[in-house]
A and B are shown apart, each in its own frame.
Chain A
């Protein structure tokens, strides 16, 4: 069966959505897997695809990249990567066949420039794009950054809109989760996007990738069963 394989951080995992929330302890449950209310499952349901949601709470772009390069893909996979904020980092430590991953925020540990982190992001997404180009059916990249239409936002940093001339990715999603979440109720932790934001985001991605999926209709008719 064609799979929707998604990668990202807590906003892909669906942190603090009702089915991954411990109401008694008022805290997140991570150990039972991602939320069925998160955008990947909603999108997969809409497309009638198997959902493989590999979002990791707290993940940096480096950890997202590392997850992707260590996954086996099928030629029929539809891959959507919702890359995360630039100010995150992690350290990968190989222990025999497993990796121990220590998450961190660059701002806490090391002086950095936004530009440096933007370049790191473009390196990783271009590397993935080139690696997977002929190995999966569709690959789409999304970002969390606030787009230039909202330059007054405190989250806005003009450096994030610098695209290096060696960037080859043209298939970025033209929808921003950062914008959607600003206008929707938050999740149970009062931080992450709530169910409505995930629903709107899934609908927006659906519309965005519809043109890419349309050619699948004849080859994979079960998608539209």
Chain B
């Protein structure tokens, strides 16, 4: 069966949607897999495809890239990547193929005084640098998956439209960006931060139109 394989961060996982929310503790459930209300499952249902939602909450572009290069694809796969884009990073720990063991680095960890995140933002983070790293990974994934999957689409969480792409970057992002076109327009999920059911449905519709 043709598979819809999706990669991304919490916006792909469907964080804080009703089926991955613990109403007693008022917190998200991350260990039982992604939400069936998230846009990948909604889209797969519309297309009558098997859904393989590989979204990882709090992931960086680097972690998404690492997840992709360690995934086995089939020629018939439809691959949609919603790149996290944000000022995030990770340190890959494992010597074996992807198991998800990475040190996640991001602003969300600064409150907890997470040393790698503090060092990253103090010494290494630069917006331009982050974008160059981002588009290199996008470009590499495009070249890697060329002729290996049926369809590959890149979506952005935050648009980089205003960035003057270097001439070696031949890829195109689909025009809708998750923050502007979904997160800021539709009601929020249970954590009042991520996108709710309506926004996920809307994003599934956007991708559906792009594919059909």
- Chain A residues engaging chain B, CB cutoff 8 angstroms: 65-66, 69-70, 89, 91-94, 99, 104, 109-113, 115-116, 119, 123-124, 126-127, 130-131, 159, 162, 164-166
Contact = CB atoms under 8 A, between A and B. Distances in A.
Interface stretch (B8-16, B20-28, B138-146, B181-189): B138-146
A110 B139 contact: no
Given A92-B129, A115-B94, 7 more contacts: A69-B166, A70-B166, A94-B132, A109-B119, A110-B119, A123-B65, A127-B140
13 contacts: A91-B123, A91-B124, A93-B128, A94-B132, A110-B124, A111-B116, A112-B91, A123-B136, A124-B136, A131-B139, A165-B97, A166-B69, A166-B144
Nearest to B91: A116
Interface in B101-147: 103, 115-116, 119-120, 123-124, 126, 128-129, 132, 136-137, 139-140, 143-144
B93 A116 contact: yes
B170 to A, nearest CB: 10
| Contact-residue bracket for chain B | 20 to 34
B93 A115 contact: yes
Contact of B123 (A70, A110, A165, A166): A110
Nearest to A131: B168
B128 A92 contact: yes
Contacts of B95: 115, 159, 162
A2 to B, nearest CB: 23
Nearest to B136: A127
Contacts of B116: 110-111
A111 B89 CA distance: 12
A64 B68 CA distance: 24
Contacts of B132: 66, 92, 94
Given A92-B126, A93-B129, A111 B168 contact: no
Contacts of A115: 92-95
B115 A94 contact: no
A46 to B, nearest CB: 31
A109 B124 contact: yes
B125 to A, nearest CB: 8
B66 interface: yes
Contacts of A119: 66, 92
A159 B93 CA distance: 11
B103 A111 contact: yes
A99 B95 CA distance: 34
B126 A126 contact: no
Contacts of A66: 132
A161 to B, nearest CB: 11
Contacts of A164: 69
A86 B34 CA distance: 35
Contacts of B91: 110-113, 116
A111 B69 CA distance: 23
Contacts of B128: 92-94, 99
